[in-house]
Chains A and B, each alone.
Chain A
Amino acid sequence: MAPRKLESVSLEPSEDPATFESKNVHQIYDAIATHFSSTRYKPWPIIATFLQNLPTGWVGFDSGTGNGKYLPLPADRPGAIWTIGMDRSRNLLEIARHAGGDDVVREVVWGNVLENAWRPGAFDYAISIATIHHLATYERRKLAVQRLIQAVDPNHGRILIYVWAIEQDELSKRKVVDQDEAVVADEKGKDVMVPWVLSKNLAAKPSEDSSPPEVFNRYYHMFAKGELGTLAKDAAVALGLSVGDPSAEEVGQGVEVVQDGWERSNYYVELRRWSK
């Protein structure tokens, strides 16, 4: 199948971003939760490796946990670390609660990635996978990263963030931009609507008739190269933290970028907090 060109979208200056996200992200995940979850079961390698390498006894949270597929990890040491899932979609949380099998119950919290529902610095780690790209402005995406930084321990807290990239690999069915648009998008990212064709059997309200399947359009901000790293640094600076290697500083608190890259149509960045 040839890649589909995605419809671009831009937020009207008069439009409230929270209302826009509610209509174009949250309501849609609640409607497609069961079908969506049935297609999301394989953890991405970088995230699995990140969780595998955390020390036993660490507690973290997954901001935008979706169907909770990262909550049972690491597979080789179940129960060695404890990840609490948070999401804006109540219907996805019902699924996340039983991620990894019905015999174990996961901890999940109905919450907003822009709010601080936690004691400051309470967690050892935080992950946010395929979530921040649903926020409709740069300021809101930056605030979401600030919330992650605030939630983890100032001395050793670790953070992993994943978002969709404009640069999609050849296996992907998505095509985001035409060649002539590519230059602009390379710097700023691109706002698009991504269609979800709902399987009738897995709809929130299953229908028997022969009407065509329902299509839901979800809002995404697709990140340009370098944009996620810049966002993370801006978030640290907004909190009054240094950015960079702790060895360069005498005293203070900061955030170090541990790794920054592209994996299978996504950009990721790993951060570490330090104090001295």
Chain B
Amino acid sequence: MVRLITHNLLACHVKNCNANNFPLEFQNVQLEIREAEFNPEFVKGFLPKIEWKALVDTARQLGDTSLPNEQPEMLDDDFLKNLHHVLLEIHVEEGSMVCPNCKHEYPISSGIPNMLLAEHEIA
């Protein structure tokens, strides 16, 4: 499955595609929501490593508008719960991820993204 935690870490790696290759754009997605155990300490620990704008924009594309444009200074429980939901509970089961730069398409099938490239595409 591609959850947004994973999506926030993936980038296009086609040969010579080095700029504007993140975030990949979801297309034709089928979503599933699965509850995950809330661990506020984990969410706080991961927060500094998130590419925030990419996460907020992608969540909105998938229909979740709960996150603010800027990371808040006060990390209250409501915010952490919304972030937990966005990162860990929205599963993209089918569809694809497309590179904004070279348009390479990474298909997602039965929840597993295919990040393999053909031999000639590898850097």
Instruction: Say whether, besides A80-B39, A114-B122, A109 and B115 are in contact (CB < 8 Å).
Output: yes
Could you give, for residues 1-32 of chain B, a 1 whenever the CB lies within 8 Å of some chain A CB and a 0 otherwise? 11101100111010000000010000000000
Whether the Cβ atoms of A55 and B1 lie closer than 8 Å is no
A204 CB-CB contact with B under 8 Å: no
CA distance A118 to B115 in the complex (A): 10
Tell me whether A110 and B113 are in contact in the complex, defined as CB-CB below 8 angstroms, given that A55-B45, A105-B1, A119-B9 are known contacts: yes
Given contacts A56-B42, A59-B49, contact A93 B116 (CB under 8 A): no
Pick the residue among B11, B43, B91, B116 that contacts A119 (CB under 8 A).
B11
**Chain A residues, CB < 8 A from B110:** 94
Q: Is the Cβ of B46 less than 8 Å from the Cβ of A59? A: yes
Instruction: Tell me, yes or no, whether A197 is within 8 Å of chain B by CB.
Output: no
A127 at the interface (CB under 8 A from B): no
- B9→A58 contact, CB < 8 A: no
Contact partner, A110, options B36, B45, B49, B114, Cβ 8 Å: B114
Docked complex: B35-58 residues within 8 A CB-CB of A: 36-37, 39, 41-47, 49, 51
Residues 70-114 of A contacting B (Cβ, < 8 Å): 78-82, 84, 86, 88, 90, 93-94, 97, 104-105, 107-112, 114
The CA of A116 and the CA of B39, in the complex, are separated in Å by 29
Interface size on A, residues (CB 8 A): 36
Cα A49 to Cα B122 with chains together (Å)? 35
Given known contacts A59-B5, A79-B39, A84-B6, A115 and B117 CB-to-CB distance under 8 angstroms: yes
Q: Does B111 contact A (CB under 8 A)?
A: yes
Q: Is the CB of A108 within 8 A of B45?
A: no
Q: Does B74 contact A (CB under 8 A)?
A: no
Residues on A with C-beta less than 8 A from B70 are none
Chain A hits for B34, CB < 8 A: 105
| Complex CA distance for A159 and B119, rounded to whole angstroms | 27
With A80-B39, A82-B46 as contacts: A108 and B115 at CB distance below 8 Å: no
- Does B115 contact A111, Cβ atoms closer than 8 Å? yes
Query: Contact between B44 and A117 (Cβ–Cβ < 8 Å)?
Result: no
Docked-complex contact A119 and B123, CB < 8 angstroms: no
A119 touching B5 in the complex, CB below 8 Å, given contacts A57-B44, A79-B37, A79-B42: no
Say whether B9 contacts A18, CB under 8 Å. Answer: no
**A82 and B9 contacting across the interface, CB-CB below 8 Å:** no
Whether A117 contacts B115 in the complex (CB less than 8 A), given A84-B9, A105-B1, A105-B91, comes out as yes
- Contact between A117 and B45, CB atoms less than 8 A apart: no
Does any Cβ of B come within 8 Å of A122's Cβ?
yes
Apart from A58-B46, A94-B112, what 14 extra A-B contacts exist at CB < 8 Å? A56-B42, A56-B45, A57-B45, A57-B46, A59-B5, A59-B49, A80-B39, A90-B112, A105-B91, A109-B113, A110-B114, A111-B116, A115-B122, A116-B13
A–B pairs, 26, beta carbons within 8 Å: A18-B119, A56-B45, A58-B45, A59-B5, A59-B46, A79-B42, A81-B42, A82-B5, A88-B116, A97-B111, A97-B112, A105-B34, A108-B1, A109-B112, A109-B113, A110-B114, A110-B116, A112-B116, A115-B13, A115-B116, A115-B117, A118-B9, A118-B10, A118-B11, A119-B9, A124-B49
Measured CB to CB, the residues of A under 8 A from B are 18, 55-59, 78-82, 84, 86, 88, 90, 93-94, 97, 104-105, 107-112, 114-119, 122-124, 153
Top 8 A-B pairs ranked by shortest CB distance?
Answer: A57-B45, A111-B115, A117-B115, A122-B9, A79-B39, A116-B13, A119-B11, A56-B41
